[in-house]
Amino acid sequence: TLCRLIKANAATATLPVMILSSAGELGFARRFGEAGAAAFLAKPVRLRQLLTAAALAIEGREAGGMITAHRSQ
């Protein structure tokens, strides 16, 4: 995946990767977390969710686990 390529490249490996997807199942979040993503947000995403996730990822708080937000069913 693109996320794995970004994380495998020494020049970009430290950049936090955020995934925004229309696929909101937990399996997708797990797969991107394993690829090194800092955040997984399922569309539709509220602006506040996006800004909070971006701020946490930039601050490096993803080290304690991936930031996720899924659709309410």
pLDDT of 9-37, one tens digit each? 999 999 999 999 887 677 888 888 899 99
Give the residue, 45 or 64, on which the prediction is more confident: 45
Predicted confidence band of residue 70 (pLDDT cuts 50, 70, 90)? low
The one-character DSSP state at 52 is H
Give the residue, 63 or 6, on which the prediction is more confident: 6
**Tokens linked to 51:** 């800004």
Mean pLDDT calculated for residue range 50-66: 79
Whether residue 40 contacts residue 68, with contact meaning beta carbons closer than 8 Å, is answered with yes
54 to 5, 49, 61, 64, 73: CA distances (angstroms): 20, 8, 10, 15, 24
